[in-house]
Structure 1
Amino acid sequence: MGGFSAVLRVGGLFTVITLAVLLFGLFALDIAVGEFRIPVGRVLDALGGGGTRAQRFVIMDSRLPRALTAVVVGAALGLGGAVTQSILRNPLASPDLLGITSGAGCGAVAAIAGMGGVGTGAAAASGISAAALAGGVLTAVLVYLLAWGPTATGDSGVMGFRLVLIGIGVNAALLSMVSWLLTRASLTDAAHAQQWLTGSLNASDWSTLVPAAIGLGLAFLVAVLSTRTLAALRFGADTARVLGVRIQTQQAILIAAAVGCTALATAAVGPLSFVGLAAPQVARRLLRTPGEPVTASALVGAIAVVGADLLARTAFPVSLPVGVVTAGVGGPFLLSLLVRTNRKATL
């Protein structure tokens, strides 16, 4: 059509549609399940404006913000992981391992414990979220500046392996800082901080959902507009430069988008481990693409968090924080990914 052309892969499109349908089904089921169970059909009716007054109150005021937060946070983490792994050409390069999540956690714990607590209520929650966002962004800036140096072509810039190594080191330092802050806090503040660090959707409301949704929307727009740039970067710096990509500028923009949506997601619910690592790799295998697909990664991340929330509330004798489930499932996935990567390197 005029000067625009695109490739339509029917198999990939069908997979993306299937993931979207699965996400919607889990989303409706997540709203339906609870102490006061509501049939899925009634949930859909209430979302469309029907249902009784009691059902609308439970669904619209109590459960809908939690379920939407799970979708937005999961999609943001999946999107951030896909962009990061595409830029650095490394399946292990997720916001978890680069220190972004730990930076947000350090900022939140500092607000809760390091400065004598921040009180309770909506103002306190906003202060913790702001501190987490600031911690994640400052950590990303620090890692990026430390990774800046000479490249293989003799120019100055950021190289993928250097960014990963520095991110791992900064991540370890921040985890030590979090542990130190917890030892300095009072028992009440330490318990509050530890609860936040597990990652939970229990305190989700519209005030925490809106900033995360805005961050996800902006990051998704940047990623979609940079699809060709991401594809070129997957071939390496030399090939991308030949194709006309301004590598350092585009890398900085894409990393800023990934960091922004990841930090806002972490500020909303706390750190959810391994979602940003696993979602792009699962999406890549489902679509059988050479790189991490952006839209499918966001959908898989949302499915992972919504499904983990369902498991956390229904599969155990007591309700668990959703971060416990994502960590329990993501740990074995990381080990399997490391084993497969090692096998490919030795073949």
Structure 2
Amino acid sequence: MTTPAAPGPAAEGVTPPDSLVLRTGTLSWLFPRRGALAAALLAPLLLLLIALAVMASSTGMGLSQTLSGLLGTGDAGTVMVVREFRLPRVCVGVMVGAALGTAGCLTQTLAGNRLATPDLLGVGEGATAAVVASVAGSSTGMIGHWWLGPVGAVAAAVLVVLCAGGAGGAGHRVLVAGIGVSTVVGAAGDLVMSRQNDNTAGGVFLWAVGSLNGRDWAVGTPLLIALLFLLPLTLAAGHRLQLLRFDDDTAAGLGVDLRRLRAAAFALAVVLAGLAVGVGGPVAFVALAAPILAARLAGPTRVPVLGSALTGAALITAADALGRVAAPVELPVGVVTSVLGGPFLLWVLFRADRTTGKA
């Protein structure tokens, strides 16, 4: 049975103040009290946002109508709108936000920089370019297959790693290489877009700014399966990444292969970001904002993987709902996050860090 340990003087000196030591036999675990409390607060907030997002529309469907549609007791039109259009879209948005928030948490931790997101590392641009290139010459105006997102992300990541001299190296080298690859790949994607007819370019443009319109269980089911496999791995990687706050020699002395850990965490971030972009488009600022907000809640000693996932899901859900009610014409979720993310980015840039004195 797991019981709280009674820490002695030595244990009190090394145990983080936000943790509780749990032990079972010879094994022990630091339970993050502050991080667990943050997750416990974020979970009901996310559920509330999901409920509001299912109701949100320009037609003003009320709570009773929404519930009747969800339970199948309303008229056929209401049931179809709620069950076949709104609920799948909201659920897909939750998963896209969770993937973006988690990917951003990993890349920021690896680079040691709060501005290091999958977009900045070229991963988002690679996923976008792959989907855009798949519709070259098409006249339907439909976007390409969602699974091309992870393929493009992996291809861009391989190019970044080759340019940086290895994924297990210093974070700043991967960051600089990612900026260069992102610029080149993004320009290639824009070139492909400029060569398309108006019908194709218009259809792809809506997705290219980040949109959940038309997303249903056909993409939601494989995305859910992927997240059920990837998120536990990401939680395990995040636990190990906490050692990056020490220098490399100290971490190596604790039995951590830093190059392998960094490479594995980077690979997870790439796949998660590619999945999110392939399904929902390159939604801006979520991968940047979610880990920063989660870190504020969980404390500076943790890698807030779970908190970033919940925060990212909440941000996407709220932005998508807001885009459906804020204007007469529906605004893509990427437009809403861009408008709200600009001031947030300025806050991140100009806010002095209390511990280091750096922006």
TM-score by length of 1: 0.88
Check conservation: 1:96, 1:277, Cα contact below 8 A.
no
1:281 has 2:292 as partner: yes
> 2-side partners of 1:80 and 1:250: how far apart?
15
Check conservation: 2:153, 2:270, Cα contact below 8 A.
yes
Deviations 1:100-140 (A, max 9, x none): 11111111111123xx12746xxx65x43233332111001
Structure 2 counterpart of 1:314, from 293, 309, 325: 325
Structure 1 counterpart of 2:347, from 320, 323, 336: 336
Structure 1 counterpart of 2:173, from 162, 166, 188: 162
List structure 1 runs of 4+ shifted beyond 6 angstroms. none
> 1-side partners of 2:61 and 2:256: how far apart?
52
Q: Secondary structure at the match of 2:182?
A: helix
1:108 counterpart letter in structure 2: V
Distance 1:229 1:8, change over 3 A: closer
How far apart are residue 345 of structure 1 and its match?
Answer: 5.4
1:218 has 2:229 as partner: yes
Check conservation: 1:85, 1:91, Cα contact below 8 A.
yes
Structure 1 counterpart of 2:74, from 52, 55, 59: 52
Equivalent residues, number: 334
Structure 2 counterpart of 1:229, from 231, 234, 240: 240
Q: How does 1:50-129 map to 2 (within 5 A)?
A: 51-52=73-74, 54=76, 55-113=78-136, 116-117=137-138, 119=140, 125=143, 127-129=144-146
2:41 maps to what in 1? 18
Deviations 1:265-322 (A, max 9, x none): 1100111011111100011112223343010110000010000011111122321000
Check conservation: 2:285, 2:338, Cα contact below 8 A.
yes
Check conservation: 1:83, 1:258, Cα contact below 8 A.
yes
1:117 counterpart letter in structure 2: S
What RMSD, in angstroms, separates the aligned Cα atoms of the two structures?
A: 2.4
Distance 1:241 1:328, change over 3 A: same
> 1-side partners of 2:96 and 2:358: how far apart?
36
1:272 maps to what in 2? 283
How far apart are residue 214 of structure 1 and its match?
Answer: 2.4
1:205 maps to what in 2? 216
> 1-side partners of 2:53 and 2:207: how far apart?
22
Check conservation: 1:283, 1:292, Cα contact below 8 A.
no
1:186 counterpart letter in structure 2: N
1:52 counterpart letter in structure 2: G
Distance 1:3 1:118, change over 3 A: farther
2:206 maps to what in 1? 195
1:219 counterpart letter in structure 2: L
Q: Which moved more, 1:189-198 or 1:97-106?
A: 189-198
Structure 1 counterpart of 2:183, from 150, 172, 179: 172
2:312 maps to what in 1? 301
Structure 2 counterpart of 1:133, from 139, 142, 150: 150
Q: Secondary structure at the match of 1:5?
A: strand
Distance 1:163 1:345, change over 3 A: farther
How far apart are residue 37 of structure 1 and its match?
Answer: 4.4
1:145 maps to what in 2? 162
Q: Secondary structure at the match of 1:8?
A: strand
Q: Secondary structure at the match of 1:328?
A: helix
> 2-side partners of 1:236 and 1:314: how far apart?
49
How far apart are residue 164 of structure 1 and its match?
Answer: 0.5
Distance 1:140 1:8, change over 3 A: same
- Structure 2 runs not aligned, ≥5 long: 1-23
Check conservation: 1:198, 1:324, Cα contact below 8 A.
yes
TM-score by length of 2: 0.85
Deviations 1:6-55 (A, max 9, x none): 233444322211111010001011111225544446645765x5633534
Q: Secondary structure at the match of 2:155?
A: helix
Q: Which moved more, 1:220-229 or 1:261-270?
A: 220-229
How far apart are residue 63 of structure 1 and its match?
Answer: 1.0
1:153 maps to what in 2? none
Q: Larger C-alpha radius of gyration, 1 or 2?
A: 2
Check conservation: 1:82, 1:294, Cα contact below 8 A.
yes
> 2-side partners of 1:83 and 1:315: how far apart?
33
Structure 2 counterpart of 1:32, from 55, 59, 68: 55
Check conservation: 2:96, 2:276, Cα contact below 8 A.
yes
1:290 maps to what in 2? 301
Check conservation: 2:69, 2:75, Cα contact below 8 A.
no
Check conservation: 1:201, 1:321, Cα contact below 8 A.
yes
How far apart are residue 147 of structure 1 and its match?
Answer: 1.2
Distance 1:107 1:100, change over 3 A: same
